[in-house]
Amino acid sequence: MRASLLVLVSLFAAACGQPQSYKLVDVPYCQVPEGQARNGFAERVRWLYNAGDSSGEGPVAGEWPSLGIGADDSITSREMVLAVVSCLDVKSSGTNGGKELTASKVPEVCQGQQTLYHGTLKATDDATAKERGFAGVLKFPEVPLTCPVGTLARTTSADIKPLAK
């Protein structure tokens, strides 16, 4: 009896234990007319994030409506420490600055670094995200960016593709 109860509990935990994902929305990008060459932001900007079990660093390029954070701009944590920095040079320091990022410290990851945003993003409920398999959304903050070609646009929950199962 005890063994069958343990098996039942284990099966239930496995079925319900899928990690929930939270989608990053309001991601800025330069929207260009169909068929026109894509172009990124005029500014040299990088992001760093730390979300408990995952962290990373990369460019805020603006060519596509994605940053490349986590799996398709999603993470499994309800909170994410995020920093957005401008740089004199787009080259990274070669380390994962996200690992050193905390709520009180932004590590130096590029030459001439200036912090444009540093804070903790918290997940919120979003009906569209839930319909598409996500537990909620995290909203990318407003940062000063310009598009030399095209117009500044931001992703919304309507852009979310269903989560692969």
Among 89, 95, 112, CA closest to 48 = 95
**Which residue type does 17 have?**
G
Ordered strands of the 45-50 beta sheet:
55-59, 45-50, 79-86, 114-122
Distance CA 102, CA 84 (A): 13
Distance CA 20, CA 23 (A): 10
Q: What pTM value is reported for the model?
A: 0.82
Q: How far is CA 10 from CA 13, 20, 102, 119, in A?
A: 5, 19, 35, 38
pLDDT value at position 6? 33
**Which residue type does 114 have?**
Q
Tokens, residue 47: 């992001």
pLDDT value at position 97? 86
pLDDT tens series, the chain, 165 aa: 444 333 333 333 334 445 689 999 999 999 998 888 888 999 999 999 999 888 999 889 998 888 877 667 889 999 999 999 999 876 666 678 899 999 999 999 988 999 999 999 999 999 999 999 999 999 999 999 999 999 999 999 998 888 776
Burial of 37 from C-beta contacts in 10 A (0-12 / 13-18 / 19+): exposed
Q: Quick one: which H or E segment has residue 136?
A: strand 136-139
pLDDT value at position 90? 60
CB distance 21 to 71 below 8 Å:
yes
CB distance 162 to 132 below 8 Å:
yes
pLDDT value at position 121? 97
Instruction: Count how many Cα atoms sit within 13 Å of the Cα of residue 80 in the half-sphere of its side chain.
Output: 31
Tokens, residue 55: 């962290």
Distance CA 5, CA 10 (A): 9
pLDDT value at position 96? 81
